[in-house]
Amino acid sequence: MSNGPAQELYRRFGFAPVGVRKNYYAETNEDALVMWAHEAQRPEYADLLDGIERRLDGETVVERPRRW
């Protein structure tokens, strides 16, 4: 709940708060904010991710899984 920068990162990717898990982090007894991307299956979500990717420096490389 206290990690504002992480929450902002998730919001940037289209996630929104949907619940709280009480005392999720045993070391600190801190609650966890549960976030969900409701629109992940919609074409607009792919457009959002494409727009974020276009603003990043470098190139996105998708590697094929290795078969050992």
Predicted pLDDT of residue 36: 94
DSSP 65: P
Angle 4-2-11 from CA coordinates, rounded to 5°: 30
Other CB atoms within 10 A of residue 33 CB: 18
- Give yes or no for a contact between 19 and 36, defined as CB atoms under 8 angstroms apart: no
pLDDT one-digit tens code per residue, 42-60: 888 889 888 988 898 888 7
Residues in Cβ contact with 61 at an 8 Å cutoff, skipping those fewer than 6 apart: none
pLDDT one-digit tens code per residue, 1-51: 999 999 999 998 889 999 999 999 999 999 999 999 988 888 888 898 889
